[in-house]
Amino acid sequence: MTLSNIGLAAMATALLLAGSAIGANTAPKVDTAPKAHPDLDRAQTATTGAFAAMTAAKSAGQFDAYGHAVQAQDLIDQAAAEEKLAAEANAKGAK
């Protein structure tokens, strides 16, 4: 591997990690229809609350051991996205 390839690989890794950290600082949206999907709406509200609690804990310096807080926030984002997809599938009549 040449020095320029190593530099490119390092830059790509840094950009990927930065993108992950940036995404983790954006709270998931509650975007289900509460009347049509009350359970999914409650789940999304809880997910948003969990994200806010993680952010507050990080801000207070309670933890971020080895990046686990950011990783947890990424997983919360994934959960929120799945909740939205579940609501959309339910709206289309999927069981």
> Mean pLDDT for each consecutive 10-residue tract of the chain (95 residues)?
48 45 61 78 90 87 78 91 88 76
Radius of gyration for the alpha carbons in the chain, expressed in angstroms and rounded: 18
Return all residues near 84 (Cβ < 8 A) that are at least 6 apart.
Answer: 31, 32, 44
pTM > 0.75:
no
- The whole-number pLDDT of residue 25 equals 64
